Amino acid sequence: MTEDEVLAGRFERARPRLHAVAVRMLGNHAAADDVVQEAWLRLHRSEPDGIDNLDGWLTTVVSRICLDTLKSGATRREQPVGELPETVDAHDPGPADQVVTADAVGAALLVVLDQLGPNERLAFVLHDLFGVPFDEVAPIVDTSPANARQLASRARRKVRGGESEPDRRRQREVVDAFLEAAREGRFERLLTMLDPDIELRADAFSVSAAATRRHLGAPALDPVMRGRETVAEVFHGRAAAAQAAYVDGLPAAVWAPGGTTRSAWVLTIANGVITRVEMLGDPATLARLEVELL
């Protein structure tokens, strides 16, 4: 097999995800097809051997093309896709993730996304729907990771403006059950609250703080941890002082002695279980968060 054939094969495996990103951004299947084709042409004209992370490179290229398209107003609305689940957990895509299609976004969400500014829309789509870290989102929208987080936060508040009280109540129930199981050391119960493929991402401050407090019972913490049992061990028998909250509109648990947030665990919840945890401890990051204690 030639190098061109290998490259074409890798691109075809990435195509469904790239198309999903584009249709979320543009709300238009035909325009999304054009964007993905343009990404292929740019890849073909580039030096592929110099690209360390092809999936990341392609996502960046597709995102920038979509951003330019939105800012120029050069797209049109088609008949929206059908009413199906509105979010997709597509972090660190493997072979199974490549089957994700644009139809996973419901018509209602596409209508709301239309009300967002281009940068807000991109930050929200990449981070909240595809799990792209803010460090990678920031260069695409030509800003800092902190500002990218704020863009996504504003977009999230707009998207969640129509969120029903029952939705928030169900999220609160999951957070409360998670904290109860963690505090009481009920490991088997804790496992039922976590998705088998759950991912935990901890910032550098949290990792360092855990390492220095190991002798005091802090958990072993890595920047990225995956799997239900691994993540459950992090919280097992802990979280005594944590309380339920919303952080930038997302369900979370925080440690906030005296009302000042010292650490936050931002949770992604799907189908009644936690699929992702973002552990934040950096004071500069925490100071920028909008925290609603419950």
Question: Which of 160, 147, 138, 146 is CA-nearest to residue 87?
Answer: 160
- How far is residue 196 CA from its own chain's centroid? 17
* Among the ranges given (29-33, 79-83, 232-236), the one the predictor scored with the smallest mean pLDDT: 79-83
Task: Yes or no: say if 27 and 112 are a contact pair by the CB < 8 Å rule.
Answer: no
Least confident of 44-58, 85-99, 112-126, 228-242: 85-99
Looking at residue 164, its pLDDT comes to 54
Which pLDDT score, from 0 to 100, does residue 194 have?
94
Tell me the fold of 3-162.
Butyryl-CoA Dehydrogenase, subunit A; domain 3 (1.20.140)
What does the DSSP 8-state code read for residue 129? I
Beta bridge partners of 269: 274
The CATH classification number of 165-293 equals: 3.10.450.50
Q: Which sequence spans correspond to the domains of the chain?
A: 3-162, 165-293
Question: How far is Cα of residue 87 from the mean position of the Cα atoms in its chain?
Answer: 10
CB-CB neighbours of 271 under 10 Å: 7
Contacts of 61 (CB under 8 A, 6+ apart): 39, 42, 43
pLDDT value of residue 232: 93
What pLDDT is recorded for position 180?
93
Q: Where are the beta strands (DSSP E) in the chain?
A: 194-202, 224-226, 243-247, 250-255, 263-270, 273-280, 291-293
Among 10, 199, 21, which residue's Cα sits nearest to residue 104? 21
Nearest one of 160, 180, 197 to 273, comparing CA atoms: 197
Q: How confident is the model at residue 97 (pLDDT cuts 50, 70, 90)?
A: very low
Quote the pLDDT of residue 187: 93
Q: How confident is the model at residue 82 (pLDDT cuts 50, 70, 90)?
A: very low
Statement: residue 76 has pLDDT above 70: no
Structure tokens at 72: 């120029």
In whole angstroms, give the CA distance from residue 36 to residue 21: 10
pLDDT confidence of residue 88: 37
Looking at every residue in the chain, the average pLDDT score rounds to 80
Cα gap 44→92, rounded to integer Å: 24
Highest average pLDDT, of 112-116, 155-159, 257-261, comes from 257-261
Name the residue type at position 167.
D
Q: Which residue has the tokens 């042409």?
A: 41
Q: Is the dihedral of CA 47, 97, 136, 77 positive or negative?
A: positive
